[in-house]
Amino acid sequence: MNHETSLSKLALADGTVVSGISIGAKGESGGELCFNTSMTGYQEIITDPSYHGQMMMMTYPHIGNYGADDQDTEAPQPMVSALVVRAFSHEYSNQLAQESLHQYMVRYGLVGITGIDTRKLVLHIRERGVMNAVVSSTDLDDDSLIMKATEWPSMDGLELASRVTCQEPYVYSDSGDHRIAVYDYGVKTNILRTFAVLGCQVKVFPGFTPLKEVLSWSPDGIFFSNGPGDPRAMPDAIDCVSEAMDTNLPLFGICLGHQLMALAQKIDVFKMYVGHRGANQPVKNLATGKVEVTTQNHGFSIDPESVDSDIATISHMNLNDDTVEGLRFQQFQGFSVQYHPEASPGPHDSRYLFEDYLEMVQDRKTN
C-alpha cells in the first residue's frame, strides 16, 4: 500500500536537528522529549495522562504493527504532544484493531516523525539529560525550530494536572464492598478498573475538589492518582493530601500521588536527570526481598536523604539506580509507590499492593 510521504524535522533545545518522515497529523508540536523502553503497549503509553505535555520517543523500533483499538487506551484521546519512532508501520495485523495507528493519530490531531535514529537520540538524552524539543512538518527551518524548542515551557515547575483532571465527579463503579474515592490528577483507566475488579465502589473526583466534598460521599479510603507535571507546583493539592492524613482513612498514592503524599509529609522531591519510562524496571520490595518487574513513568523522584524514619520508611527501591520506589507512612494509615502496579509487565508482580490497601481498608471498617 502506498502512503503519501512528507518531510518532517525534530529539533532539540541544545541545537540538535534530525530529519525524518511525517506520521499522523500534519503540523507542529513540542514538549519535553522523553523515551519509553517498552516493546509493546504504545497505545496505552500515548494515552497515559501522565505524559501530557511530553513528546514520546519509543526505543523499540517497530511501532504501529498491531494498529489501534479504542479499548487499549488509558484516556479518551492521546495525551502525548508528539510521537517519535524509528520504523513506523502503516500496515497492521490484529483482529481487534479498528484502524491503523496513523489513522488514529490523524483522527486526534497527533503529530509524529519516523525514520530517525532513535537509538542515537536516546543516548544523546541520557548523556545530556531530558530537554524540550519541537517536531514539525510545516516549518522546516532549523534555526526557527531550535528557537521554538528553547522557548517551550520547562517541565520543571510546571503544573499540568489541572489540564487532564475530570471537571465533574463521576461514578466509575457503583457496586462493591468498599467505597474508594479517587482524586483524579490524570488517573489511568486501568487503575479504576483494578479497584472495580477487586470489588470496590469507585467515585472519581476532580483534583481540585475540597476534601469535605469527598468526605460527604463517606468513602472507606482515599486514593491519589498518577498525573503529569511537577508536584512541587501543586500547593493546593499538597494541602488537601495533608488534610486527608488527619481523617484516619487509609490512603494510597501512585506516581504523582506518591510524590504529593511525600511532600505533604515534608519529604523532598527532585527532578530527575533522566526519568524512568518503560515496562522493565526492577524494583525490590525491602520487606520481602522479592524483585518486581514494573512499569514506570516519572520524571520526578523522592529525595531519600529527606525521609525521616519517624515519618515514613522506604519500602521499595529501584535496582537500576537506587531511587525510592515506595513509602510506608508512620503517622497515618497509608502507603505509596512511584511505579504503576495496575500495569502488567510481570504480569501481576505488583497487584498485591491493591490487595494490601483494601485489607487496610477492611481492617479499619471492622476494628
- What count of Cα atoms within 13 Å lies in the side-chain half-sphere of residue 231? 36
Phi, psi of 133 (to 5 degrees): -150, 165
Sign of CA dihedral 95, 96, 99, 104: negative
The residues, ordered by sequence, that sit 6+ positions from 103 with a Cβ below 8 Å of its Cβ are 68
Short-list 31, 5, 323, 288, CA closest to 151: 31
Among 44, 74, 325, 342, the active-site one is 342
Assess whether the previous peptide bond of 347 is cis (omega < 30° from 0): yes
Query: Is 102 noted as a catalytic residue in this protein?
Result: no
- For residue 304, the one-letter residue type is P
129: three-class secondary structure by DSSP: coil
Query: Is 340 noted as a catalytic residue in this protein?
Result: yes
Among 74, 255, 292, 325, the active-site one is 255
Query: Is 34 noted as a catalytic residue in this protein?
Result: no
The residues, ordered by sequence, that sit 6+ positions from 58 with a Cβ below 8 Å of its Cβ are 35, 36, 38, 42, 45, 83, 84, 85, 86, 118
Task: Just list the catalytic residues.
Answer: 255, 340, 342
